[in-house]
Amino acid sequence: MSPDIPPPAAAPFPELRAGNLGVRIAETAEEIDAVQALRYRIFYQELGAHPDAAALASGRDADDFDPVADHLLVVDHSIGAGPEGVVGTYRLILPEAAARIGRFYSADEYDIGPMLGFAGRVLELGRSCVDAGYRNRAAMQLLWRGIAAYVFHHGIDLMFGCASLPGTDPDALATELTYLHAHHLAPPEIRPRARAERYVEMRRLDAAGLDTRRALAELPPLIKGYLRLGGFVGDGAVIDRQFNTTDVAVVVKTDLVTDKYYRHYERENREAG
């Protein structure tokens, strides 16, 4: 791991548990290193992303945003309570963290001006992955509980980020892209748009002829999760050849996302005194 990554700040919320699994923010440089190793294994070795020389040599997926981000961890305590137990992650970037870099990660693919002009506090989500042995309802629910706790602690009103569909042929993804554009396009006031030089049209089929149930079933679990929580997509897809994906921008208002999670977390806070 890069030596310029500082130790993480104090955790914004206590670890949340579900059986052997826990979710919390990374607390040590070693845990961030474990996150980067997990991302490399999944993105590059499993999903076919193309590593640059530095990633290939280190076996780590790392970039300039890692030192300023908070890293949400799923830890399997039956393996270990520290870096050895990390089996899932989500990267969380607050506005003050993005200011240290000079931009949000999503700005490389999308015009995120509408989100930055939103009258509320925003959070960028990204670099989500879970080890193959833990891709189940329990791990994903725990990740969302962690995000909800983080949102609650930091007073977040709007979340956004890039979510990926597998492969770089938009015609092979025509059903999914058309469905997303036709049924889940964000309202204009919070709608990101793919940068002009990277814009890929999402309306690739006649939306009236879509089998919407099949289209929804074909979506990756992460995107379906955003939609279940009231999320929207931006205008235009983006091809990411390095990561072997077709990306869409996702926008989620937290008042739609965290209704039940807020109530649960507030109740836990009250019971804890």
pLDDT, mean of residues 247-268: 72
Residue 137 pLDDT: 84
Q: Is 6 exposed, middle or buried (0-12, 13-18, 19+ CB in 10 A)?
A: exposed
Residue 3 pLDDT: 41
Q: Is 59 left (phi over 0), alpha (psi -120 to 50) or beta?
A: left
pLDDT score of 131 more than 60: yes
Kindly compute the dihedral angle of the four CA atoms of residues 98, 100, 105, 111, in this order, to the nearest 10 degrees. Answer: 70
pLDDT, mean of residues 116-139: 93
Pairwise CA distance, residues 200 & 220, whole Å: 19
Residue 273 pLDDT: 45
Strand partners, 248: 163
Residue 266 pLDDT: 55
pTM of the model: 0.90
Residue 60 pLDDT: 98
Residue 85 pLDDT: 98
pLDDT score of 237 more than 60: yes
Pairwise CA distance, residues 187 & 243, whole Å: 28
What pLDDT, in 10s, does the model give residues 66-77?
999 999 999 999
Specify the range with the lowest mean pLDDT, choosing from 23-32, 106-115, 130-139.
Answer: 130-139
User: Could you give the C-alpha distances from 33 to 8, 36, 74, 87, 100, in angstroms and in order?
Assistant: 12, 5, 14, 13, 21
Closest-CA residue to 60 (of 27, 83, 93, 92) = 83
pLDDT score of 6 more than 80: no
Mean pLDDT of the chain: 91
| Residues sharing a CB contact under 8 Å with residue 99, sequence separation 6 or more, in sequence order | none
pLDDT, mean of residues 18-33: 96
Bridge-based pairing state of the strands 86-93 and 110-111: unpaired
What pLDDT, in 10s, does the model give residues 144-156?
899 999 998 999 9
Q: Is 29 left (phi over 0), alpha (psi -120 to 50) or beta?
A: alpha
| Other CB atoms within 10 Å distance of the CB of residue 3 | 6
> Hey, what CATH class is 16-271 in?
alpha beta
What pLDDT, in 10s, does the model give residues 166-209?
999 999 999 999 999 999 999 999 999 999 999 999 999 999 99
For a pLDDT cut of 90, what percent of the chain falls above it?
A: 83
Strand partners, 17: 22
pLDDT, mean of residues 115-133: 95
Pairwise CA distance, residues 170 & 246, whole Å: 7
Residue 24 pLDDT: 97
Residue 103 C-beta-side C-alpha neighbours within 13 Å:
10
Strand partners, 229: none
Reported as a pLDDT band with limits 50, 70 and 90, residue 262 is low
146, 72 Cβ separation under 8 angstroms? yes
Domain ranges (residues) in the chain: 16-271
